[in-house]
Chain A
């Protein structure tokens, strides 16, 4: 009866509707602001972005006066950014927003650009003076790469949803630590940027559910890279063999030349040849481009991540064996692990691109035959390190889906060692690497008795903790009597100012 009355006159209906509207809107508003008050639900870190979220700003008179306490500035977030960055439903809201954005247009092909442009690659060997001139070392810094406003933040806490795998070794291994390789492919973004992934993958070209890392040759930084490798070569002359492995990234290998050129990027083969032609004659450049290109119908690069797969690293390993004059092992000789569901750095850098999300990778890792045991040092929150017994190829099936590349070589720890008792000739190798080296290392294990690997981005810091005053590569080679040194990094690292600065600390 009452309902009937309510609908009897348009005025009463209209009034009811108006009240309903006001309650609906204010209700939603107040519920959301209540959720915003639930401080204990606020996340502190973002696993997918690999960074610490903005912390609540410290109260200070100057912060109030100039407004940075409230509004922040380019380097530091204020209350504004803290509130948005750690909003309890943020991850869900971002995913919903991403879903909405996937309908903005035809998004099958996308390019997520860093705005870099390619320099011309000319041929011919350069003298030391020419290289120094190109490297801008006789001049001020070139402005080709914008300086980062701040260093990207690093997640040092273990991710909550991953469990360590029982290894039965001396010490309980830590849970998966996010690899501290955040400055790779540096870019000028703030640590507290909501949309900013900590690990940047350079420019990414995404098409049909696959991401491709795009490379832009930068003459200045490439010249600096050559000079730094040559310094290592000089320091090790007559003491150890030096190999240089600049790993191609996926666009140059997987895309046709026409498509690759449309992206305005550089020919990676030409760039690698440019670098190798300017290295000290004692350095053996390992050429992997053609071998990888010949296998580009195989699964040699991840679709959602900037790394190569173990299969890609295997083809590079065969080229290394050819350069060293040893016989590579057959893939059939290895037992494997397989981890499906990997969503790597392209996925996070593209702000969770939906087509990548629907096409997750499978990580396959090949277990070395000689030994799968290693020792590594993992950084603690207070800056000290803890030694762990670990596995060279580890079962990461319980790790977060963004962390599966950590199956290889312990991830990105500063100093690692494996003793292969199956070889007793005293042979030894040192791999100085970024994360591209991780997938490559397990294949080398069977060929040496002593295998050392260091991450050039964090080794110096570790030396400081370990009380080792000589943190150079030559220092380590001399202490351990190492015979072979392999400098292994991806081609984008040779064009990154911050990474080159890190290398220059220990490339002596």
Chain B
């Protein structure tokens, strides 16, 4: 099930909050949450549920072994290694077998037939969550969980199971066991959820439509390298711009909704995005983009490898490994690996070559956005012929026209909408809101005005999202593949 669908909002979510409110004890609430989460997860097919149950079982079991070994003052490292290896092998089989065999086939001509393994949804997210749990138990950063079903609730909680953020066990354990619902948090959660829903249903899906319109593809028509080749230069820039807006608005919307739903029932998830498009450097961008993933790689890969407290050569190697893995995590295609390594290059440049603080601030910002822009161009096209055509097309090297009617109309028909999307990528509205709130502390009429606006906005956003979802069967879930 996707959050941005009518059946989720008006059936699943409503049923979930009503039952949450009706059952008394925390144990009953947890049972309700787990049941809803399993139904949510089974929505993509019951066949994926055993995998979630199995992976959770493996990590639950090994964490118990690690805990026992530690308490008996024995070495627990082999249990940790075994568990991590097992999880990564399972993830690898489901996610990378096809990719690996395709490349072997290209090089060596065999195997003849490549099995079509369907990627179970959310596997990349919950595997990482479970791994963080096991490592944290090993490191003594988290208490072991003796109840399997509570660990399953952590791994499978529908708020974040399929699209993040990647929540650490130690951050959420307290909420699982002792959460309380506070009115002020429910209120914040409502706004957050409504903002997220509108970002996805109205803005991100609207951006996806602009991409389709610019490519002049309709309905389920597949994009081809020929279509990319024939797209004009301005059209290609519009496509990548719209995609750049879409991917942020889409992905951060899922985090918004997760955080919002969490607040409504007492869970506290950490922020996953911090307005990445206002970043001034590439390093800054990655502090603001998909924070839970970067911190995962930082804490569980980069620092164990030695981080930056090593020789320059080793440090660059560490960065190479981390960014290669970050790319691979996003999908089993070469373009994602290129995308990761593309950032590796810029991060090394910023670290060792370019003195970014000597560049004027505004120029730094523009350069960062341009680097991110071309990064998304690489990210968007999984097929190599399309990627090649797209990169050439951005500079008119396909023999494509500079501009044509299709791209002009795609821009003209949507320019106000694009401005709204760009504003939505900045903290502008958030700042305005806090300004009003600060003002309202001293002045009751302003407080009343603010209160009305604060109460009305989520309802309006929900209405607009419902309109968009009803009018829009085109509702792709970009992050299912990760």
Contact = CB atoms under 8 A, between A and B. Distances in A.
Interface in B445-482: 447-448, 451-452, 454-456, 458-459, 462-464, 466-474
Contacts of B13: 29
Interface of B: 1, 5-7, 9-11, 13-14, 17, 42-48, 183-184, 186-187, 190, 194, 206, 213, 215-222, 227, 230, 404-406, 409, 411-418, 440-441, 444, 447-448, 451-452, 454-456, 458-459, 462-464, 466-474
B206 A105 contact: no
A351 B416 CA distance: 20
A399 B6 CA distance: 32
Contacts of A277: none
Interface of A: 7, 10, 13-22, 24-26, 28-30, 32-33, 36, 64-68, 70-71, 74, 79-81, 83-85, 87, 89-90, 93-94, 96-98, 100, 103-107, 109-115, 117, 146, 149, 187-190, 193-196, 262-264, 351
A105 B417 contact: yes
A96 B1 contact: no
A103 B219 contact: no
Contact of B7 (A10, A28, A84, A97): A84
Contact of A188 (B5, B221, B414, B441): B221
A415 B315 CA distance: 79
Given A84-B469, A89-B470, A105-B416, A13 B444 contact: yes
A21 B219 contact: no
B219 A193 contact: yes
Contacts of A21: 187, 190, 451, 454-455, 458
Contacts of B187: 18, 21-22
B10 A33 contact: yes
A70 B194 CA distance: 24
Given A10-B441, A104-B417, A113-B218, A194 B473 contact: yes
Contacts of B184: 18
A7 B444 contact: yes
A133 B152 CA distance: 62
A130 B327 CA distance: 51
A64 B273 CA distance: 35
B405 A104 contact: no
B470 A187 contact: no
Contact of A84 (B5, B417, B418): B5
B471 A67 contact: no
Nearest to B470: A93
Nearest to A262: B405
Contacts of A17: 447-448, 451-452, 454-455
B44 A70 contact: yes
Nearest to A196: B219
Contact of A104 (B190, B406, B414, B463): B414
A106 B415 contact: yes
B405 A93 contact: no
Contacts of B466: 32, 93
A36 B6 contact: yes
Contacts of B444: 7, 10, 13
24 contacts: A13-B447, A14-B447, A17-B447, A20-B451, A29-B462, A36-B11, A70-B1, A71-B1, A79-B7, A80-B1, A84-B6, A84-B473, A87-B6, A90-B470, A93-B470, A97-B468, A105-B414, A106-B413, A107-B412, A113-B406, A188-B221, A189-B219, A195-B471, A196-B219
